[in-house]
Chain A
């Protein structure tokens, strides 16, 4: 289990998540990409936590990230549903009220 391999996996997951976030029009799909990115970060934290068996900061941080991600997912999905009720669509390119 070389560290580099795990870090590369994290980087790959992060970039895939990023690509999903950027390219998908559907808000749910974008959320999926965000979850991927968060998990990529978690992977890094846990990987480095292996070298910190006493303090376990990485693992604790990963737990908090998961918690916050759960909160974020809940709120985000609520907003998406509300937005959908308002605009009758969940496509982000249609929701451009802030367009200059």
Chain B
């Protein structure tokens, strides 16, 4: 039997804690100081983040080969309940540290140009610092309570940055939407926390994992036995709570990682500045959900994982469909982000832990690159706006032929897009291939109705390639459509390539999207990432645990791999080809594209309106809530208010009775007293006649009486 206090006991002092504190303190310092700076705010914030990146790289180089350094301490105690904090520096955390800081620095750098003319740029850079701080908190802490705290902070900074231009109605609405959707997910997170705490009485992940290993299933009950403060604790829950805990925690990830059915906030979140979209809504914050699943991966049971896989597959497919008819370049990227996040979640669901995290890292690179490229385009188009020239610089209908004007941007965008489409030679290929392979193997083992997941996953490959190249053809090939749409803009300065602030981050991220970064190979297993991070073994009791992929025969992977590679490359290429024929310069769709208001046909409508999910929410859920609110208001007004009014009326009547009693009985008594006193006063007053002679007589009369008494 294990003692909980031993598991969560304070570790020996480790100088690493200073580095951890520094990692989190520097972005926080940036948040607190940058807001008060004026001109040097961007430089200062970028500098601080640069220091942070250096620390991350240093730590990564120092702890690369260790299996993980855990630091734990006592936070506070209430009674015999001990709350701890703990950090875990393992390879996953190190990679995430570097990725987050790297992209954060690049985004800071990019923003120096992008936000140059914004009045509130000090606030902007401060919030970027807050976001980085929160994200690093999630990565570094190994304690669900702290992860939750920083999780909320991430949600807050996301809210603040989406609503950065809050004077725009749509931006503040989008911020609210993101916040509320995240709240719904967080409700699940809290539920999961409560289930786990009631079972294990600790939030420490190490403790939870250790106790999960020791817990067992007895008569369909999930039993955990351990010592706490020397006393035997035996917590027994229905076995379904084990699945429920995993699904509830996954709900948090659903909100944060924009999974079906809560993903509707992410497209709206594009109201924020584009670098923010790159940092938060493509590369890091939305990945937090996946990261969190990775952290709790081993305590998910088979049912929970199935839910995760199904949700991921549905999300990936739905978002991919939604992406192919959008006009707004950032919306396309937003839906593609949701789609790719769906892939990651799917990977987690099928047990492909490493593949999911690999995709998380590669996606962070190429999606940030895509967003920054799009940001460059938007920024440069924005320069063309003038007094008489008003257009939406995010709308692809005003673009076209930008390859001629912005070659560097084109190349970077192209590389990242190829990675997104999953073509060989680019990082996205490796990770997506790994996910597809693992999914295929998992479904072969699982069988049954789960084949639809595979269908969705492969269909998404096709659609991804299609919308990616549709975007490229529409944006970069053909003629520049803006002068045609708005003739006045032709007279202004020509469209230019962005300066070094915009170019450098793009180029770096494009380089990061090459598969060569991860190894000179076509197979994901051969990359250093796979060498570093292995799939863990599930810790839940055996009867509830999912099968481990690595337990399956290796030949299955070998056999399926060639098929999967061929099919995925084939699908991606066919997507490319379809896109080419539909949207090449002069093609049918390309020609009519600029005039279109919205796509026609059932598929186009479904895609454009994202499966009518927003409409559904508004029509059904919102209406239901409003209807319910009205009913409750009616109940309040009629029943509760009626009751209260009745009491009030009774009180008034009662008060009248008391008033009568007061007036007649109590006041009567008082009046009687005063009347008596007054009469007595009147009586004694009459003696005071004011006449001296009367006084003399009285005095003498008494004198005589006294003398009579004395003498006789």
Contacts and interface: CB of A to CB of B under 8 A. Distances in A.
Are both chains from one complex? yes
B690 A100 contact: yes
B711 to A, nearest CB: 14
B697 A100 contact: no
B602 to A, nearest CB: 109
Interface stretch (B39-47, B609-617, B680-688): B680-688
Contact of A22 (B684, B686, B690, B697): B697
Interface of A: 18, 21-23, 30, 92-93, 95-100
Contacts of A18: 700
A18 B686 CA distance: 24
Contacts of B697: 22
Contacts of B696: 21-22
A30 B691 CA distance: 13
B693 interface: yes
A92 B691 contact: yes
Nearest to A98: B690
B685 A100 contact: yes
A51 to B, nearest CB: 24
A92 B688 contact: no
Contact of A92 (B686, B687, B693): B693
17 contacts: A18-B700, A22-B693, A23-B693, A30-B693, A92-B691, A92-B692, A92-B693, A96-B689, A96-B690, A96-B691, A97-B690, A98-B690, A99-B689, A100-B685, A100-B686, A100-B688, A100-B689
A17 to B, nearest CB: 12
Contacts of A23: 693
A99 B693 contact: no
B126 to A, nearest CB: 84
Contacts, number: 30
A16 B278 CA distance: 127
A100 B499 CA distance: 106
A39 to B, nearest CB: 18
A22 B690 CA distance: 14
A99 B700 contact: no
B691 A93 contact: yes
Given A18-B700, A92-B692, A92-B693, 9 more contacts: A22-B697, A92-B691, A95-B690, A96-B689, A97-B690, A98-B690, A99-B688, A99-B690, A100-B684
Nearest to B686: A100
A6 B684 CA distance: 42
A27 to B, nearest CB: 10
Tier of interface size on chain B: 10 to 19
B61 to A, nearest CB: 108
What are the nearest 8 A-B pairs in CB distance? A100-B688, A96-B690, A99-B690, A100-B685, A98-B690, A22-B693, A22-B697, A96-B691
Most A Cβ at <10 Å: residue of B684, B692, B696, B700: B692
Contacts of A93: 691
Interface string B672-712: 00000000000011111111110011001000000000000
Contacts of B687: 100
Contacts of A99: 688-691
A92 B692 CA distance: 8
A23 B690 CA distance: 16
Nearest to A18: B700
A22 B693 CA distance: 5
Contacts of B688: 98-100
Contacts of A95: 690
Contacts of A100: 684-690
B84 to A, nearest CB: 87
Most A Cβ at <10 Å: residue of B685, B688, B689, B690: B690
Contacts of B690: 95-100
Most B Cβ at <10 Å: residue of A21, A92, A100: A100
A92 B693 CA distance: 8
A18 B688 CA distance: 21
A93 to B, nearest CB: 6
Contacts of A30: 693
Contacts of B684: 100
A21 B695 CA distance: 12
Nearest to B692: A92
A96 to B, nearest CB: 3
A97 B690 CA distance: 6
Nearest to A27: B692
A96 B690 CA distance: 5
A30 B694 CA distance: 13
Contacts of B692: 92
Contacts of B691: 92-93, 96, 99
A95 B691 CA distance: 8
Contacts of B689: 96, 99-100
Interface string B148-186: 000000000000000000000000000000000000000
Most A Cβ at <10 Å: residue of B686, B687, B689: B689
A99 B688 CA distance: 6
A42 B687 CA distance: 34
A100 B682 CA distance: 9
Interface in B341-398: none
A3 B691 CA distance: 37
Nearest to A99: B690
Contacts of A97: 690
Nearest to A97: B690
A36 B295 CA distance: 125
Interface string B611-637: 000000000000000000000000000
A21 B700 CA distance: 12
A40 to B, nearest CB: 15
Nearest to A24: B693
Nearest to B696: A22
Contacts of B685: 100
A16 to B, nearest CB: 14
A13 B685 CA distance: 34
Nearest to B685: A100
A21 B686 contact: no
A48 to B, nearest CB: 20
A39 B638 CA distance: 100
A22 B686 CA distance: 19
Contacts of B700: 18
A53 B687 CA distance: 48
A46 B685 CA distance: 43
A15 to B, nearest CB: 10
A36 B217 CA distance: 129
A100 B693 CA distance: 15
A18 B693 CA distance: 10
A83 B258 CA distance: 108
A76 to B, nearest CB: 12
A99 B686 CA distance: 8
A38 B691 CA distance: 22
A98 B692 CA distance: 10
B696 to A, nearest CB: 6
A91 to B, nearest CB: 11
A71 to B, nearest CB: 20
Interface string B113-125: 0000000000000
A93 B692 CA distance: 9
B628 to A, nearest CB: 79
Interface in B92-140: none
